[in-house]
Amino acid sequence: MPSQPYSSAVPARSPARRLPVRVALVAGMAALGAVGATAQTYGIATMQPGTLNHTTGSAIAKVLKEKAGLNVLVQPTAGETTLIPMVGRAEAEMGIANIAEMDNVAKGTSAAGAQPDLRLIGAIHPLRVGWYVRKDSGLKTVADLKGKRVPLGYSAMRTQDTTTTAALAAAGLTAADVQAVPVPNVVRGADAFAGGNADTFTFAFGGGKLREVDATVGGVRVLEIPEAGMPAARKLFPFAYLTEVDPGPAFPGVEARMKVFAYDNMLFTNAKVTDDLVYKIIETMEANKAELVAVQPALRDYSAAGLFKQYDVVPYHPGALKYFKEKGFAPKAIQ
């Protein structure tokens, strides 16, 4: 049936009758706008649940939500090569990735591609990592991995290939001296080890997956890295340094005081994020460190002053620089 033409006989409302309706609509839209403003959500992109990275992001999100009133949601991903572009495209306001991944992006060698809008907030804590073996394996040092099955070929976490070859170099080995077990990320590497398909795996201290594997296989041991070999390691991975740790619940596989491989974990954002928001993030984290540590013990090493290091891989966000200037912080040397 053809549609009926509009009839001019339909009575129109007078201006006086339309005014209350308009006022009501404007008031309603204003109310909706206010609700939207108070309910704004911010994302923090991390790696998968069970990783140190994810726990760190969860701690930051919790503190920002409870102490600053910011509705921050953790957005887990497969790895840094996925989460870095998310922040670069402003699909998440913050992200956590290691300094080497940020360096790769700056150099244009990362699978994440060019990300010109990335900005640093700073170094939030050392990323202490170990190469673990079964406690009853008899393997004690990285040199003992010669001829063993080692996760290599990380499709979603390219930095892990570099850190692993750097650790091998510290012991006078190369990738050709081991049997590579290709995996996409460290979680899958841990699964390969637990399933008997690899003789070692690497993981950050503090990750839930590490504790899970430790319990599954009846105990793990951290392989020792010779300090004398670190110059060789830094030729492949210039951000590496050793930090001393003691046995304890936070360090599965550490049987006595020892030095372990470390590099910095970075909190970063997008250039479009406001200076005030970045300033507030730092201010809130600094004022509530105890709450951060309660969720993520690795954040014992966090400080607002420690955020500011002499990294030139990605520019610092102006909001972070404003905070550092007001507090009189100078950039610290890389360890």
CA–CA–CA angle 200, 204, 206 (5° rounding): 120
| Cβ 284 vs Cβ 63: under 8 Å | yes
* Total-model pTM: 0.76
pLDDT recorded at residue 14: 41
Is residue 221 predicted with pLDDT exceeding 60? yes
Region 199-228: what's the mean pLDDT? Answer: 95
pLDDT recorded at residue 276: 98
Beta 71-76 vs 149-151: how paired, if at all?
Answer: unpaired
Q: Whats the size of the chain, residue-wise?
A: 335
pLDDT recorded at residue 156: 80
pLDDT recorded at residue 19: 38
Is residue 319 predicted with pLDDT exceeding 60? yes
pLDDT recorded at residue 22: 39
- Mean model confidence pLDDT for the chain: 88
Written in H, E and C, the secondary structure of the chain is: CCCCCCCCCCCCCCHHHHHHHHHHHHHHHHHHHHHHHHCCEEEEEECCCCCHHHHHHHHHHHHHHHHHCCEEEEEECCCHHHHHHHHHCCCCCEEEEEHHHHHHHHHCCCCCCCCCCEEEEEEEEEEEEEEEEECCCCCCEHHHHCCCEEECCCCCCCHHHHHHHHHHHHCCCCHHHCEEECCCCHHHHHHHHHCCCCCCEEEECCCHHHHHHHHHCCCEEECECCHHHHHHHHHHCCCCEEEEECCCCCCCCCCCCEEEEEEEEEEEEECCCCHHHHHHHHHHHHHCHHHHHHHCHHHHHCCHHHHCECCCCCCECHHHHHHHHHHCCCCECCC
| Cβ 90 vs Cβ 277: under 8 Å | no
Is residue 211 predicted with pLDDT exceeding 60? yes
Query: Top-level CATH class of 128-263?
Result: alpha beta
| Cβ 194 vs Cβ 217: under 8 Å | yes
Q: Which of 33-47, 86-100, 314-328 has the lowest mean pLDDT?
A: 33-47
pLDDT recorded at residue 39: 64
Give just the sign of the alpha carbon dihedral 148, 127, 234, 222: negative
Residue 51 pLDDT level (bands cut at 50, 70, 90): confident
Q: Name the amino acid, one letter, at 269.
A: T
| Cβ 96 vs Cβ 266: under 8 Å | yes
pLDDT recorded at residue 244: 93
pLDDT recorded at residue 50: 86
pLDDT recorded at residue 168: 98
How far is it, in rounded angstroms, from Cα 124 to Cα 127? 9
pLDDT recorded at residue 313: 87
Written in H, E and C, the secondary structure of 195-213 is: CCCCCCEEEECCCHHHHHH
How far is it, in rounded angstroms, from Cα 302 to Cα 148? 36
Region 295-299: what's the mean pLDDT? Answer: 93
Residue 333 pLDDT level (bands cut at 50, 70, 90): confident
Give domain limits for the chain: 40-126+264-327, 128-263
pLDDT recorded at residue 78: 86
Name which of 187, 196, 236 is nearest 77 in CA terms. 187
Q: Which of 61-70, 107-116, 244-253 has the lowest mean pLDDT?
A: 107-116
Is residue 12 predicted with pLDDT exceeding 70? no
Region 144-148: what's the mean pLDDT? Answer: 98
The pLDDT tens digits of the residues spanning 68-125 come to 999 999 999 988 888 999 999 999 999 999 998 888 887 777 776 789 999 999 999 9
pLDDT recorded at residue 27: 41
Cα dihedral 148/154/158/161 (nearest 10): 0
How far is it, in rounded angstroms, from Cα 323 to Cα 122? 12
Give domain 40-126+264-327's CATH architecture: 3-Layer(aba) Sandwich (3.40)
